[in-house]
Amino acid sequence: MESQADQVVQLVSAIRCALEKRTGLEVVQQTLDRLSVLDLEARSVHSLTPQIPAQFDKGLTQAIDHIPVSLELVGQALDGAKPYLFWEPDNGDGTGYYEEGSDVGRSFRDGNMVCPLIGPGASFVPSDDLFLCLFFLQSQTLYRDHIHEASEMYFNLTGPCGFRLGNDDWVDYPGDSLVWNRPWDVHATRVYQAPFLSVVSWVGNINGLCRVVPRDDWQALESQLATH
């Protein structure tokens, strides 16, 4: 049986190969540049005790099954790595990506988890200038409008999922799509029936926190999603 470290290396390699064919956005190249200087060998992967919140196990399997054929190799690598991954929800208690007490809403608080693949702190591969994670949102979740200083790539593996960028209207993105949030750009995500799985990277100030940016339609959006 292969080890956790082997599975993580295979997964990151599959993500890197896929990104190398999708370099239209500057943030993809920035991510690849930072990946290229990392020592992506099994011996440099930190061991993390696998964990996943039980309520998301089924949704994650559904999401992986939902990955389009154009990302087949990423899907296979994820399938293999799934039992070894370390997932953590951001409960809004100040230990995650927001200050304690931030108004992220129950939909997000109860519906998200992050698997930190590369970055500072508790990640499989240490890096001080790249944060790369898998980001899961369960179906019918609203990830409210927010900002951060880091430049951010969403490499969406599943879809359709909605993004609201700045003051623009919502736009739906399919599985195998990319979104670039430049530093301090306001953005929000909404998830329909298919659970959301994305590879998210941060470059720039990767240690800054996220801050919610209040909008007056959050509750309406959350109830709409809950009833569909």
Among positions 29-88, residues that touch Fe ion (CB under 5 A) are none
Cα–Cα distances (Å) from 135 to 56, 196, 208, in that order, read 12, 8, 18
Measure the CA angle with vertex 145, ends 186 and 75; round to 5°.
95
Closer residue to Fe ion in complex, CB, 4/158: 158
Bridge partners for 133 per DSSP:
116, 200
3-state helix, strand, coil in the chain (%, to 5): 30, 25, 40
**Site for Fe ion (CB under 5 A): which residue of 88, 90, 145, 152?**
152
Closer residue to Fe ion in complex, CB, 90/152: 152
Q: Letter for the amino acid at 196?
A: F
Residue number of the CB atom closest to Fe ion: 152
Q: Which stretch binds Fe ion (CB under 5 A): 26-34, 62-70, 152-160, 162-170?
A: 152-160
Closer residue to Fe ion in complex, CB, 65/103: 103
Q: How far is the CB of 4 from Fe ion (least distance, A)?
A: 27
Q: How far is the CB of 97 from Fe ion (least distance, A)?
A: 8
CB 140 within 8 A of CB 187: no
Query: According to the binding rule CB under 5 A, does residue 90 interact with Fe ion?
Result: no
Residue 228's CB: how many other CB atoms inside 10 A? 9
Within the chain, where are the H helices?
A: 4-20, 26-36, 57-65, 72-81, 106-109, 218-226
Closer residue to Fe ion in complex, CB, 152/176: 152
User: Count of alpha carbons within 13 Å of 176, Cβ hemisphere only?
Assistant: 13
Q: How far is the CB of 216 from Fe ion (least distance, A)?
A: 21
Q: How far is the CB of 32 from Fe ion (least distance, A)?
A: 19
Q: Which stretch binds Fe ion (CB under 5 A): 53-61, 105-113, 145-153, 159-167?
A: 145-153
Q: How far is the CB of 186 from Fe ion (least distance, A)?
A: 9
End-to-end CA distance of the chain: 42
Read off φ and ψ for residue 182, nearest 5 degrees. -70, 165
Binding mask 103-142 for Fe ion (x = CB under 5 A): ----------------------------------------
| Contact residues for Fe ion, defined by CB under 5 A | 152
